[in-house]
Amino acid sequence: MWKQFANQWALVTGASTGLGAEFARQLASHGMHLVLVARRGELMDELATELHTKHGTQCLVITADLSSPGEPQRILAEIAAQGKTIALLINNAGFGIVGEVHNADVDRILTMIRLNVSALIELTYLVLPEMLQRGRGGILNVASLSAFQPVAYMGAYSASKAFVLHFSEALHCELRDLGITVSTLCPGVTRTSFFDIAGAPGWLRKHAALDVDYVVRKGLKALSRRRQHCVPGWRNFLLTLLVRIASRRRVVKESMRFFRPQPPGKHWRRSRRRFF
Ligand SMILES: NC(=O)c1ccc[n+]([C@@H]2O[C@H](COP(=O)([O-])OP(=O)(O)OC[C@H]3O[C@@H](n4cnc5c(N)ncnc54)[C@H](OP(=O)(O)O)[C@@H]3O)[C@@H](O)[C@H]2O)c1
């Protein structure tokens, strides 16, 4: 599959850091050129220089806040104006929010939904017509282990990722005979800035986590094998089976132990258990 994508263009959202930057690195090593999208342009410029030096990768850096309406169209228009065609879309940008319902910041929650859900859908539908015309293309949507169940204190986030998983799995089946692969990557806890941004600083240090290079490798392998979804890590995979057997009430109650906000001065409990 990677031979087929060599010298073609991939669009990676959330490419300034974390999983997105690693997607860019691994795709560049497969010979792809990259459109990098996120808000922090300087980080993407540095990444573009690194990839050009290492692999001769051409990069187009587009600074954009994907939670703002109209940004997906602007990005695709800029790509078209440069005469580039997207062969692979990695919808990775996203963030989570951990917190109690009575402290909820509704504006921030809606911003999260616009990023995690609306921008992902819009970018998907914007790149699809060209892919359908060519009869080939790939889309990898990043959901989460939390897509498989409701998660207390992260209700809106887990629901947004359930949306991503359901939407992407439906598209996978609709498009697979038309030459287009849509796969969903559902990572469990991974070493990035995700939990600091979500409002649970220090949480990552107390829990077992996977490395970004492993998670990204698994995601790209799933895409190349035309798999519907992928859950990196066998313990995470087992969890997705367990939540199907356990009662729904039990599943949500268990999740409360992981994300119940800690009183000031108290740190997140150490646990070797993986969640998402
Ligand atoms: N790490 C985990 O444990 C974990 C687990 C399950 C799922 N995930 C999912 O994995 C994906 C990547 O997250 P990560 O772990 O790599 O976290 P991260 O290190 O915080 O990276 C998030 C990326 O999204 C970009 N981003 C955030 N808001 C944006 C906006 N409004 N517009 C454009 N780009 C934006 C950030 O760039 P800028 O700040 O420069 O805009 C950054 O590049 C997310 O969808 C997340 O939900 C992560």
- Domain hosting residue 108, numbered range: 2-259
Q: Does residue 91 form part of some domain?
A: yes
Query: Which amino acid, 22?
Result: E
For position 178, what pLDDT does the model report? Answer: 98
* 5-54 pLDDT per residue, tens: 999 999 999 999 999 999 999 999 999 999 999 999 999 999 999 999 99
276 pLDDT more than 50:
no
Q: How far is the CA of 71 from the centre of ligand 1 (A)?
A: 17
Residue 93 sits in a domain whose CATH number is: 3.40.50.720
- Residue identified by tokens 């993407």 is 44
Specify whether 214 is catalytic.
no
Average pLDDT along the chain? 94
For position 1, what pLDDT does the model report? Answer: 76
Q: Are 99 and 200 in contact (CB under 8 A)?
A: no
* 87-136 pLDDT per residue, tens: 999 999 999 999 999 889 999 999 999 999 999 999 999 999 999 999 99
Q: Whose CA is nearest to atom 6 of ligand 1?
A: 144
| Alpha carbon 234 to its chain's center | 19
* 212-261 pLDDT per residue, tens: 999 999 999 999 999 999 999 999 999 999 999 999 999 999 999 888 87
Domain count, the chain: 1
Quick one: angle between helices 71-81 and 120-134, nearest 10? 30
Whole-angstrom Cα distance, residue 146 to residue 275? 8
Burial class (CB in 10 A: 0-12, 13-18, 19+), 190: buried
Q: Does residue 264 form part of some domain?
A: no
200 pLDDT more than 60:
yes
Q: Are 60 and 44 in contact (CB under 8 A)?
A: no
Q: How far is the CA of 241 from the centre of ligand 1 (A)?
A: 26
Tokens found for residue 41:
């342009």
Whole-angstrom Cα distance, residue 160 to residue 168? 12
